[in-house]
A and B are shown apart, each in its own frame.
Chain A
Amino acid sequence: MTVAENSRKGLVGRGVSRVDASDKVRGLARYADDLDVPGCWHGVIVRSPVSRGTLRSVKLDPACDASKAVVVTAQDIPGPNIVVMHDRAMPLLAFDEIRYIGEPLAVVAAPTRRQAIEVAEHVRIEIDELPAILTTAELVRKFKAGELKTGVEQNAPRGVGGFAGGAPESPDVLCSQSIVKGDVEKGFAEADQIVEAEYTAGHQEQLYIEPQGLVAIPQKDGGILIEGSMQCPYYIQHELHEALNLPAGKLRVRQAAVGGAFGGKEEFPSMLAGYCALPAMKAKKPVKIVYDRHQDILYTTKRHPVWVRHKTGVKKDGTITALKVDFLLDGGAYLTLSDVVMYRGILHAAMGYRCDHVFVNGIVGRTNTFPSGAFRGFGAPQAIWGVESHVDALARACGMTPHEFRLKNCLRVGDTTPTGMVLRDSVGSPAVLEEALKTSRFADKFAKCSRGRKGARKWYGIGLSFFAHGSGFTGDGESKIGTKVALDLGFENASPVVFIRVSSTEMGQGALTVLSQMAADGLGVDLDRVRYPLPDTGLVPNSGPTVASRTTMVVGSTVYSAACKLRQRLEESAGRPIAGSKSFEQIASKYLAEHGPLRVVEAFKLPDTVRWDQATFRGDAYPAFAWGCNVAEVEVDTRTLEIKVKKVTACFDVGRVINPVLVKGQVEGGLTQALGYAVMEKIGIKGGRFDANRMQTYVIPTALDVPEYDITFVEYPYEFAAPGAKGVGEMPMDGLAPAIANAIEAATGIRMTDLPITPEKLFKEVTTKCAKDAK
Chain B
Amino acid sequence: MKTITRIWKVNGEEKTVKVPPMRRLLDVLREDLGLKGAKEGCGEGECGTCTVLINGAPMVSCLIPAGQVRDGTEIMTVEGLEKTEGGRLLQEVYADKGSAQCGFCIPGMILSSYALLSRNPNPDEAAIREAHAGNLCRCTGYQKIVEAVQAAARKWPGNK
Contact = CB atoms under 8 A, between A and B. Distances in A.
A260 B140 CA distance: 11
A680 to B, nearest CB: 12
7 contacts: A25-B110, A26-B79, A207-B138, A661-B98, A670-B141, A695-B47, A703-B128
A704 B35 CA distance: 30
A628 B94 CA distance: 28
Contacts of A695: 41-42, 44, 46-47, 136
A33 B130 CA distance: 29
A775 to B, nearest CB: 44
Contacts of B139: 209, 260, 508, 665-666, 669
A209 B79 contact: no
B107 A706 contact: no
Contacts of B137: 209, 669, 703
Contact of A703 (B39, B49, B78, B132): B132
Contacts of B79: 26-27
B77 to A, nearest CB: 7
A25 B98 contact: no
Interface string A530-552: 00000000000000000000000
B107 to A, nearest CB: 5
Contact of B145 (A29, A671, A703): A703
A209 B36 contact: no
Contact of B78 (A26, A510, A696): A26
Interface string B88-131: 00110011111111111111001000000000000000001110
A415 interface: no
Nearest to A708: B143
Interface in B31-60: 35-44, 46-47, 49
Contacts of A15: 98
Given A210-B102, A261-B102, 4 more contacts: A17-B95, A259-B39, A673-B138, A702-B132
Given A21-B95, A704-B129, A669 B101 contact: yes
Contacts of A661: 97-98
**Which of A26, A31, A207, A669: most chain B CB closer than 10 A?**
A26
Interface string A673-701: 10000000000000000000011100011
B138 A700 contact: yes
Query: Residue among A18, A30, A262, A671 with the most chain B CB within 10 A?
Result: A18
B76 to A, nearest CB: 11
Interface in A21-40: 21-31, 33-34
A539 to B, nearest CB: 23
Contact of A27 (B37, B102, B146): B37
Interface residues on B, range: 35 or more
A666 B95 contact: no
B151 to A, nearest CB: 13
Contacts of B41: 209-211, 259, 293, 695
Interface in A723-745: none
Interface string B72-86: 000001110110000
Contact of B103 (A508, A664, A709): A508
B133 interface: yes
B8 interface: no
A34 B49 CA distance: 14
A669 B39 contact: no
B44 A662 contact: no
B94 A25 contact: yes
Contacts of B110: 25
Interface residues of A, number: 56
B144 interface: yes
A672 B141 contact: yes
Given A292-B43, A668-B143, A703-B132, A208 B138 contact: yes
A654 interface: no
Nearest to B137: A209
A487 B95 CA distance: 27
B104 A209 contact: yes
A669 B129 contact: no
Contacts of A27: 35-38, 77-79, 81, 106-107
Interface in A412-428: none
B138 A17 contact: no
B68 to A, nearest CB: 22
A702 B81 CA distance: 24
Contacts of B143: 665, 668, 706, 709
Contact of B95 (A22, A509, A694): A22
A28 B41 CA distance: 17
B97 to A, nearest CB: 7
A566 B121 CA distance: 50
A16 to B, nearest CB: 9
A358 interface: no
A377 to B, nearest CB: 15
A464 interface: no
A394 to B, nearest CB: 31
B36 A293 contact: no
A478 interface: no
A31 B94 CA distance: 19
Given A25-B100, A703-B133, A31 B91 contact: no
A349 B40 CA distance: 39
Contacts of B97: 661
A226 interface: no
Contacts of B134: 702
B39 A210 contact: yes
B146 A703 contact: yes
A93 interface: no
A24 B140 contact: no
Given A668-B140, A695-B44, A18 B100 contact: yes
Given A508-B139, A706-B141, A293 B98 contact: no
B20 to A, nearest CB: 13
Contacts of A507: 102
A406 B44 CA distance: 47
A672 B101 CA distance: 14
Contacts of A208: 102, 104, 138
Nearest to A660: B98
Contact of A18 (B43, B95, B141, B145): B95
B42 A694 contact: yes
A653 B133 CA distance: 32
